[in-house]
Amino acid sequence: MALNLDARQRAMLAEMHVRVWSPVTAPEASLSSLAPGQAMTMQAAPPVHAPQAVKSAASTPTPSTPNTTSAHAAEPAASPLVLRRPEGLDAMDWTTLQHTVSNCQACSLCHTRQHTVFGAGTPATEGQVPQVDWLIVGEAPGENEDLQGQPFVGQAGQLLDNMLRACGLSRAAQVGPEGGGIYITNVLKCRPPGNRNPKPEEVAQCEPYLQRQVALLKPKIILAMGRFAVQSLLQHSVPGVDKAPLGKLRGQVHSYQGVPVVVTYHPAYLLRNLPEKAKVWADLCLAMALLKSAHEIS
């Protein structure tokens, strides 16, 4: 028989250390089917308040993981790079090609350059393609070139001018009866920040400009100066050129768009390795011999 005790009576019995047994309610009776250890564990567990648990997990940041959602929402999303190199390069005339290069936004270098460097050499009537025998291709503009918008104007450019003078040539000379015109350009038309090496995607975006320059200039000889110039010009004709040492590509006659290509070291490399000048002179002699043969045939 169960005792119907009120709260006051129960408190009095508790003070007397008298244990009072109560009838088991329906929810508690369901625990009787569990093992004793399980029933104790479930009865001892503190109550869980669902709303507070959801709030803690979903919206309350922990000290080690600050809530940055609002900060990111306030930042503008980075705009993806839009390649804007125009189509139809293979049909452009010289003037249009120059204008296109000066406004090029085909890669991220357009955001850091001061000037594009299209090229320079033998003077020509405005709008006309320079008449040249030599096309000298370097790698990329440096700081001085970027500031002036002209190729090879720093110390490397001075050394190049001395090399040409030794061959009886000048970048600004008029074309004579025996030819001799020169045009100087680079694979990249914009300076990489800090004069770092060109990236493959930058070379790929700029290569069509060089292709069109060669097609319009129609040089009789191309002098490729430096690793990136050589790789860009010979990537489709020399297997494994991207891994071949420059020294192994020298002393041979390669081809680009049907134009003979002579490989040599970049003047900036020579400034750091003066003994290599003798090798470059040998390369220039090879180029002059090829050019002489071309004049005799024509």
pLDDT for 62-84, tens place per residue?
A: 444 444 434 333 433 434 445 56
CATH number (3.40.470.10, 3.10.180.10, 3.40.50.800, 3.40.190.10) of 89-297 reads 3.40.470.10
Tell me the two tokens of residue 1.
């028989």
Spell out the domain ranges in the chain: 89-297
pLDDT for 117-139, tens place per residue?
A: 999 999 988 889 999 999 999 99
Distance CA 237, CA 263 (A): 14
- If pLDDT is split at 50, 70 and 90, which confidence band does 20 have? low
Q: How many other C-beta atoms are found inside a 10 Å radius of the C-beta of residue 297? A: 6
Residue 183 has pLDDT above 70, yes or no: yes
Residue 208 has pLDDT above 60, yes or no: yes
Mean pLDDT of 17-26: 55
Residue 278 has pLDDT above 90, yes or no: yes
Dihedrals φ, ψ of 85, to 5°?
A: -70, 125
- If pLDDT is split at 50, 70 and 90, which confidence band does 53 have? very low
Alpha helices in the chain (DSSP H): 7-15, 26-29, 36-44, 50-58, 69-74, 94-102, 143-148, 155-166, 200-217, 227-234, 246-249, 267-272, 277-297
| pLDDT, greater one: 91 or 38 | 91
- DSSP annotation of 65 reads B
| Residues in contact with 208: Cβ distance below 8 Å, sequence separation at least 6, in sequence order | 85, 89, 90
Distance CA 84, CA 281 (A): 41
Would you call 144 exposed, middle or buried from its count of C-beta atoms within 10 A (0-12, 13-18, 19+)?
A: middle
Q: What is the pTM of this model?
A: 0.71
| pLDDT, greater one: 83 or 212 | 212
Q: Which residues pair with 65 in a beta bridge?
A: 62
pLDDT of residue 267: 96
Dihedrals φ, ψ of 77, to 5°?
A: -70, 140
Tokens 């594009």 belong to residue? 116
Mean pLDDT of 4-20: 63
